[in-house]
Amino acid sequence: MSMFVCNDGKWSLESSNPSLKLELDTPSVGGFSMNTVGGLAVSSLEAIPGEYPESLGMRGSQRSHLAEDGFDASLVLEQKIPFGVPISIVRSYRVDDDSMDAVVNFQLPHAFPLKNLIAGGLKFSGAVSAASIVAIPAHPGAIGKPKDLAFADAAEGAELYRGTRPPLMLSVIGNDGRYVRFELGCDIWRWCNAERLGGGKATYIIRKENNALLFTWTLYAFGGGCTEVPEPPFGRNWKLEWSLHWNDPAVPENVIETASLDDFADDCACAKSSENAMKKWIRRHFSDLKDGDTLVLKVGTPRFCGNAAHVDRAAKKNLDHWELPALRDFSRWANRQLRKHGASLILAVGKESEK
């Protein structure tokens, strides 16, 4: 069982996984520092919405929650920046023994001039030996293969990636071969929203610094001098979802059924029809489950999609998203139900799941 505890005004995670150490409000209020397997460490980088960095802000509301079955814990932290046009940053974290999900809400009122929005980023340090990325595809379909970033051979200060769109995935490998992997949330369109607003651009950079890997997120920087958009846009709420993963569960021997994602989802697992079909598959096993039983859902290579109806925004016609975050949400729902019967679901992702 894992749970969040608060000591001397700072939050930390008491985890059933002895190799996981997570501290919140470090290095700054609302941020985090994490040590996982193999000596790898991950910490948050400071956000700068407009002129004032979040380190100048003040602590707002805080609330923690432990799931009824004790398998995951969540924490919501609010940061208020009272200078200029006051704004808030609200971060939600959900953690289990193998992953951390984060949702960040930048609450920017209409009076806030959107000149610059740096959303922070991540620093990977410790025993970093290699890194690779998977790019956001240009067209709907299966995502591509990982691309090595040549971290070990890169010079100090070298940029290993720069683009107006972030990588879909970033895997950082430790000296012992174990990893920590960053994944975008389903909401790819929000990470790329500068293209839709106009008048500015987004910039995502991965660079090597002091033998660490820094991944920085500039969501919007107003270009100025743009005749079509002469003034910065008005403030708007901006939500980002992302996750970290550091362990792929092994498939046990007592598997009672293995199914393929293609059995339930024709084009995208985010579609409501796909979700309903997968949940129906889980429910029909309730009456005959025994302790230790395992179901396996083979995903193969996750897919990228643009159908806005799949993310409940049909009027937008096209919004970029991908199905792996939705599948992880489904897996959490399924395991909450199956644990009541002593059973579990394994989500088998990657080429190896197609064998």
pLDDT (average), residues 286-313: 91
Going from N- to C-terminal start, the domains of the chain cover: 3-245, 255-354
Q: How far apart are CA 205 and CA 133, in angstroms?
A: 12
Question: What is the C-alpha to C-alpha distance for residues 51 and 104, in angstroms, rounded to an integer?
Answer: 19
Residue 12 banded pLDDT, cuts 50, 70, 90: confident
Confidence band, pLDDT 50/70/90 cuts, at residue 224: low
Which of 355, 354, 313 has its CA nearest to residue 142? 354
88 has pLDDT over 70? yes
Bigger pLDDT: 107 vs 31 = 107
Q: Which pLDDT belongs to residue 355?
A: 46
**Given a cut of 90, is residue 185 above it in pLDDT?**
yes
Asked whether the predicted pLDDT for residue 354 surpasses 60, the reply is no
Q: Which CATH number fits domain 3-245: 2.40.30.10, 3.30.540.10, 3.30.2090.10, 2.70.98.10?
A: 2.70.98.10
Residue 111's SS3 state is coil
Tokens 């992302």: give the residue: 242
Q: Is residue 317 pLDDT above 80, yes or no?
A: no
Residue-wise pLDDT for 254-263, tens only, equals 888 999 999 9
Q: Is the peptide bond before 27 cis (omega within 30 degrees of 0)?
A: yes
What b/e sequence results for 154-166 when a residue is b if at least 16 CB atoms lie within 10 Å of its CB, and e otherwise?
beeeeebbeeebb
Q: Kindly list the distances between the CA atom of residue 234 and the CA atoms of 28, 112, 116, 228, 316, in Å, as whole numbers in the listed order.
A: 27, 6, 11, 15, 21
Q: What is the mean pLDDT of residues 132-141?
A: 95
pLDDT value at residue 16: 75
CA angle 108/112/114 to nearest 5° reads: 90
Note the pLDDT of residue 80. Answer: 93
Best CA proximity match to 11, nearest among 67, 56, 28: 28
Query: To the nearest whole number, what is the mean pLDDT of the chain?
Result: 89
Q: In the prediction, which pLDDT does 301 show?
A: 93
Mean pLDDT of 209-219: 96
Distance separating alpha carbons of residues 104 and 88, to the nearest angstrom: 10
pLDDT interval class at 37 (50, 70, 90): low
Any bridge partners for residue 345, and if so which?
A: 295
Give me the percent of the chain exceeding a pLDDT of 70: 96
Bridge partners of residue 153, in order along the sequence: none
Instruction: Check residue 280 and give its pLDDT.
Output: 95
pLDDT: is 227 or 211 the higher one? 211
DSSP of 9-29: TEEEEE-S-TT-EEEES-SST
